[in-house]
A and B are shown apart, each in its own frame.
Chain A
Amino acid sequence: MLSYIIRRLLTMIPMLLVICFLIFVGMELMPTDPISYMVGPEQIANMTPEKLEEMREALGLNRPFIVRFFEWLGGIARGDFGYSLTNGQPIKDIIAAKLPATIELSLYALLISTVFGVFLGILSAVKRGSTTDSALTVLGMVGISIPEFFFGLVMILVFAINLKWLPIGGRTLPEYTSYWQQFRHVIMPATILGISMTAGVMRYSRSSMLDALNRDFLKTARAKGLPKWRIYILHGFRVALTPVVVLIGFRLPTLVGGSVVVEQIFQWPGIGDAFVTAVRGNNYPLVMMIALLTVTMMLAASLIVDVLTALIDPRVRLE
């Protein structure tokens, strides 16, 4: 097991290099000049071409593509992620400031979707064909099809504006003394993010569970005289678990990547929000770092999923 994990981690290195290259090429192909975003339009009009050229030279934009790529790569290897083009802040600091917010939000959403999705999925499968099942199926479809921004706006309207139970947005306020006060801010965004994920997990758990319920060993379990919860949970769901773990595992990247839509609606100061601002501002060093961070998490998630699958199912062997 350990040697497998080490081998997988080693194969990640060339993969990450290729991904870094692709990200860099993608950024290079963007047709805009970062200078025009750094400096206001009026200033640009007043600047001589020599002055602009000087700025490009100072930022290293004039050197060959491949040189810049390896400089960037070398920087990352040294832990120097570069500087934001808009305000000169180190990218490391920006990410360090935004990441906890995103992790907080995504963790709650992941928790909500896993608990409710799995529970409702099992319920739906065990009571298949019943009113409960049909109702959950419809709700699941609604949850999947209605976009997050719509849910978000409706929730803000109802719970923040009309009922005034919850704050409209943001993550925290300076006067807060306990986490509990801050917690009220995360309820709505986490619920919205959770709902769309719950629907997916629920449908997935349901079909996986139905599949398990039709297997022969379920009949064996019944013929053994076991109580229902043992049959459904220990025999049925235990076997249905693997695909569900895979699905949830591949949601892990949102932990660091954040959700662009939800973070925007609720002015959540997370990575998703930072990403949008960076793209708008053509702040390509930051865009690249966030992209790289998400991709790294994706690779890590696939390793985590593989290891978990092997732990859950004795038939799976890590090779």
Chain B
Amino acid sequence: MNQDIILEVKDLSVSFYTDNRKNNAIRNVSFVAQRGKTLCIVGESGCGKSVSASAILRLLPELSRIENGEIKYYGREEPINIEKVDPDGDLIREIRGGEIAMIFQDPMTALNPVYTVGYQISEMLLEHNKDMKKDEAMKKSVELLSAMGIPQADQRVNEYPHQFSGGMRQRAMIAMAMSCNPKILLADEPTTALDVTVQAQIFELMDNLKKDYDAAIVLITHDMGVVTELADNVSVMYMGYVVEDGTVDEVLRTPAHPYTKALLASIPILGRGRNQKIEPIRGSTPDPFNRPPGCQFEPRCDYATEKCREAMPEREFISGEHNVRCYCYKEVLKDE
């Protein structure tokens, strides 16, 4: 067992129940997060990225259920099976924020508008440090904010979120998330709502955090550019399945799944000029209530065969950590 592994998700399935219908939001998803490393989970909207992150903190909505699988957290002396923990209990509350922190997509709405930024950071500090005093927490909040690059933090700490710009709010969110020195930082599309310059700053900040705090970062994104910049490991998700998983080099240089390959082919590359060929993925994402019977990508796949229509392929390891769910991955690799 690798000592650096802090979180292991294994064969996790989560379903949503609505109007007597069941949506298999994620199916047999597996990935690991390691100390001081960034895992990027990529995929299009609705593929189950956020559900996976919410499941780790047991923040899933009421009408959902973890069907099978394990979420093993190795941050304590004894590993904890998070999927078995009471989602309203004290243990998960200690872990939330204290050991696994989360930041959200839209910093405009993720902070409570009626409390000052300082109050919201202190609230978290006081919750997880029972003997801390209020003024100490406020002092720590100022330190955190200025460590996240917010100028005049001692004044801004008393301001309300609406007085902050989008980038500042996300910095404040990160300050809050990092306040209790979490072992894992779950970032659910943290920069989608921000403009590109601010994005770059936020990612730089997160990259530094990874080194300074030795935290594992699980970054959820749909931006391949972000993956190249930040990731150590990548999991590509499609329709609730992890279709390809491995180190960033393996996945981006030698994509083994047709979806990964198509995804990479659909991104324009800066500097190649206007003549580069950008290929969109044909078709559109299937309705989650009316899924293809076999491989989820089969209707849109250039490599599809008869076999693909029958069942979703199992995970196959290509080399080391690199694994893929595809019957035809050898051909995909050959086409490189």
Chain A interfacial positions (CB closer than 8 Å to B)? 215-217, 219-228, 230, 235, 238-239, 312-315
Partner among A223, A228, A235 whose Cβ is within 8 Å of the Cβ of B97: A223
| CB-nearest residue of chain A to B61 | A219
Give the residues in chain B near A225, CB-CB below 8 Å.
Answer: 92-98, 124, 127-128
> B59 and A219: CB pair below 8 A?
yes
**Are A220 and B104 in touch, CB under 8 angstroms?**
yes
**21 chain-A/chain-B pairs, Cβ below 8 angstroms:** A216-B104, A220-B111, A223-B59, A223-B96, A223-B97, A225-B92, A225-B93, A225-B98, A225-B128, A226-B93, A226-B123, A227-B127, A230-B123, A238-B115, A313-B114, A314-B160, A314-B162, A315-B113, A315-B114, A315-B160, A315-B162
CA distance A216 to B188 in the complex (A): 13
**Interchain CA distance A315-B98 in the complex, whole Å:** 30
- Would you call B97 and A217 a contact (CB within 8 A)? no
Say whether B113 contacts A224, CB under 8 Å: no
Minimum C-beta distance from A61 to chain B (A): 57
Residues in B neighbouring A226, C-beta threshold 8 A: 93, 97, 123-124, 127
Known contacts A223-B96, A225-B96, A312-B114; is-contact A215 B109 (Cβ 8 Å): yes
> How distant is the Cα of A217 from the Cα of B98 in the complex, in angstroms?
18
Give the complex CA separation of A88 and B224 in angstroms. Answer: 88
B106 at interface, CB cutoff 8 A: yes
| Chain A residue nearest to B95 in the complex (CB) | A225
Q: How far is the CA of A71 from the CA of B94 in the complex (A)?
A: 73
Q: A216-B106, A217-B111, A314-B113 are in contact. Are A224 and B162 (CB under 8 A)?
A: no
Q: How many cross-chain pairs have Cβ atoms below 8 Å apart between A and B?
A: 73
Give the residues in chain A near B98, CB-CB below 8 Å: 225
- Given A216-B109, A314-B160, A222:B114 Cβ within 8 A: no
Q: A217-B109, A315-B162 are in contact. Are A224 and B96 (CB under 8 A)?
A: yes
B88 an interface residue at 8 Å Cβ cutoff?
A: yes
> Does B96 contact A222, Cβ atoms closer than 8 Å?
yes
Complex CA gap A215/B114 in Å reads 13
Complex Cα gap A72–B328 (Å): 95
B102 CB within 8 Å of chain A: yes
Q: Does chain A have a CB within 8 A of B112?
A: yes
Is A239's CB under 8 angstroms from B88's CB?
no
Inter-chain CA distance A216–B161, complex, in Å, is 14
Known: A223-B57, A225-B97, A228-B88. A216 touches B110 (CB 8 A): yes
Known: A216-B106, A314-B162. A224 touches B59 (CB 8 A): no
Q: Can you name the residue of chain B whose Cβ is closest to the Cβ of A312?
A: B114
Q: Is B176 an interface residue (CB 8 A)?
A: yes
Question: Could you tell me the distance between the alpha carbons of A223 and B59 in the complex, rounded to whole angstroms?
Answer: 7
Least CB distance from B177 to A in Å reads: 8
Q: Pick from B94, B95, B102, B110 the residue with the most CB of A within 10 Å.
A: B110
Q: Confirm or deny: B101 has a beta carbon within 8 angstroms of a beta carbon on chain A.
A: yes
Q: How far is the CB of A208 from chain B (nearest CB, A)?
A: 14
* CA of A53 to CA of B101, assembled, Å: 87
Q: Which residues of B contact A222 (CB under 8 A)?
A: 57, 59, 96
Smallest beta-carbon distance B234→chain A, Å: 24
Hey, which chain A residues are within 8 Å of B57, CB to CB?
A: 222-223
Shortest CB distance A153–B (Å): 43
Contact indicator A224/B176 (Cβ below 8 Å): yes
Q: Cβ of A238 and Cβ of B109 under 8 Å apart?
A: no
Q: Which residues of B contact A239 (CB under 8 A)?
A: 112-114
Report the separation of the CA atoms of residues A235 and B92 in the bound assembly, to the nearest whole angstrom.
19
Which residues of B have CB within 8 Å of A224?
A: 96-97, 123-124, 127, 176
* CB neighbours of B92 from chain A (8 A): 225
Looking at the assembled complex, report how far the CB atom of A49 sits from the nearest CB atom of chain B, in whole angstroms.
70
Segment 45-64 of B: residues with Cβ below 8 Å from A: 57, 59
| Docked complex Cα distance between A223 and B123 (Å) | 12
CB-defined interface of B65-90 with A at 8 Å, one 1/0 digit per residue? 00000000000000000000000100
Nearest CB in chain A: distance from B102 CB, A: 4
Chain B: minimal CB distance from A315 (Å): 5
Q: Which residues between 123 and 149 of chain B lie within 8 Å of chain A, taking CB atoms?
A: 123-124, 127-128
Nearest Cβ in chain A — how far from B158, in angstroms? Answer: 11
List 9 additional A-B contacts (Cβ < 8 Å) besides A216-B110, A220-B102: A216-B104, A217-B113, A222-B96, A225-B97, A225-B127, A239-B114, A312-B114, A313-B113, A315-B162
Q: Looking at A215, A220, A222, which has the most chain B CB atoms within 10 Å of its CB?
A: A220
**Distance in angstroms between the alpha carbons of A223 and B102 in the assembled complex:** 6
Residues of A within 8 A of B112 (CB): 217, 220-221, 235, 238-239
Q: Report the bound CA distance from A241 to B112 in whole Å.
A: 13
Alpha-carbon distance A316/B96, docked complex (angstroms): 32
Which residue in chain B gives the minimum CB-CB distance to A239? B114
Chain A residues lying within 8 Å of B110, measured Cβ to Cβ, are 216-217, 219-220
